[in-house]
Amino acid sequence: MLLDLLNPARILFGPGANDRIGTEIARLGKKPLIVTGRKSLVASGNLDRVASPLRQLGIKPVFFADVEPEPTVGKVDEVRQIARENRCDLIVGVGGGSVLDVAKAAAGLYGEDEPTRVYLYGREVTATGLPWLAIPTTAGSGSEVTENAVLTDPEEGKKGSIRNGFWMASTAIVDPIFTMSMPKKLTAITGFDALSHAIESYTSRWANPYSSSLSQAAAALIMQNLYTAFSTNKKEAREKMMLASLMAGMSLNVARSGAVHSLAHPLGQRYGLSHGLVCAVLLPSVMRYNLPLVDTRYADLAYAVNLSPRSTPPEEAAERLIFFVEKAVQKLEVPSRLSQLGVKEEDLAEIANLAHESASLSANPRRTQREDLLEILRGCW
């Protein structure tokens, strides 16, 4: 067994972890560039949770508050340019997965001369970048502990990942208090993003004892706490969802994703759809497709959350797990069909073709051809 384990140098988790923001930034640099989304950080009141520790230490950051929900390679270039013009020596991402991916890529490509899009198409990263600090404000992407940044190139209509083992955050400050202001819809779709990470990495062809221990625990926490976080916003449920997202990201970093993500990227790019929303629609259909090869793995998850007693045959327990996920989509008021998201039936074949080119399929437990991907899409259209 060969393991290549990548994690941030430091992970600070739990309520009150944000109190360490100032000292961690001071430890890593003198002039930080703080990257955020366009509105949510101010609207949620979380901006002061970041700015206050800096004021106390006399740190004067540069702010970039213009990351869109589906970030582009051009946005990364903007951040790189601002960091250079202001001679910043640290990049801090504060937000959901899109913000963290932009901060990660901008820090990683800071020393490169070419535009970001050439690295999306395979250009090797050779220069040393800046350190970066991750502060997630949603419980879903796990981007604070992964090596990849998911970006879109509008010119070519491509959505994909740039991966680099040197792009791990220097510090991830994971404070569930940041998620307390998340609206119900965002709670649901980011939760399904994390659940798809947990289930896909648990059933990945590259899963191993390290990744499986993380992904199984993450899946169990999500299935036990997502509805509570969605319906009541209890602090304990929020904390467990944040921990689950973190662990699912750590597992994903090792074992990778599968067909859900290979299909979600072209769908998200074509229709401008939230990644977590598309994952929620796709996950049950992909689980059914993979079922013949991973019924015992699904059964293990069903046993872990008491969906079935351990005396239940694996085939039956696995079906109960898929049924649970299907019902969860309904309970959390998420659309269950691609047609409800505006996806056109005539586009499904092209989506399947684009998905078949995705590297994510190499980890999917069941081999897929274009026809298989098209059938999955039709099954949830």
Would you kindly state where each structural domain of the chain is located, as residue ranges? 10-178, 182-379
What average pLDDT does the chain have? 94
Residue 43 is predicted with a pLDDT of 74
Token pair belonging to 215: 């992904």
Q: Is residue 203 over pLDDT 90?
A: yes
Q: Would you say 138 and 244 are in contact if contact means Cβ atoms under 8 Å apart?
A: no
Number of Cβ within 10 Å of residue 238's Cβ equals: 23
The angle subtended at Cα 243 by Cα 307 and Cα 167, nearest 5°, is 125
Phi-psi sector, 45: left (phi>0), alpha (psi -120 to 50), beta: left
Confidence of residue 304 (pLDDT cuts 50, 70, 90): very high
pLDDT in tens, 12-48: 999 999 999 999 999 999 999 999 998 878 777 788 8
CATH of domain 182-379: 1.20.1090.10
β-pair partners for 37: 67
Phi/psi region, residue 34 (left: phi>0; alpha: psi -120 to 50; beta: rest), is beta
Considering Cα of 45, then 46, then 51, then 57, what sign does the dihedral take? positive
- Which tens digits make up the pLDDT trace of 160-178? 899 999 999 999 999 999 9
Query: First CA to last CA across the chain, in angstroms?
Result: 40
pLDDT, tens digit, 9 for 90 and up, residues 56-76: 888 899 999 999 988 999 999
What's the confidence (pLDDT) of residue 44?
79
Is residue 324 scored above 80 in pLDDT?
A: yes
Domain 10-178 fold: Rossmann fold (3.40.50)
What is the structure's pLDDT at 51? 86
pTM to 2 decimals?
0.95
Whether 10-178 shares its CATH topology with 182-379 is answered: no
Q: For strands 158-163 and 148-153, give the pairing.
A: antiparallel
Give the whole-angstrom CA distance, residue 269 versus residue 90: 30
What average pLDDT does range 8-12 have in this prediction? 95
At 73 the pLDDT is: 97
Query: With helix as H, strand as E and coil as C, how does the chain read?
Result: CCCCCCCCCEEEECCCHHHHHHHHHHHHCCCEEEEEECCHHHHHCHHHHHHHHHHHCCCCCEEEEEECCCCEHHHHHHHHHHHHHCCCCEEEEEECHHHHHHHHHHHHCCCCCCCHHHHHCCCCCCCCCCCEEEEECCCCCCHHHCCEEEEEECCCCEEEEEECHHHCCCEEEECHHHHCCCCHHHHHHHHHHHHHHHHHHHCCCCCCHHHHHHHHHHHHHHHHHHHHHHHCCCHHHHHHHHHHHHHHHHHHHHHCCCHHHHHHHHHHHHHCCCHHHHHHHHHHHHHHHHHHHHHHHHHHHHHHCCCCCCCCCHHHHHHHHHHHHHHHHHHCCCCCCHHHHCCCHHHHHHHHHHHHCCHHHHHCCCCCCHHHHHHHHHHCC
Q: Which amino acid is at 231?
A: S
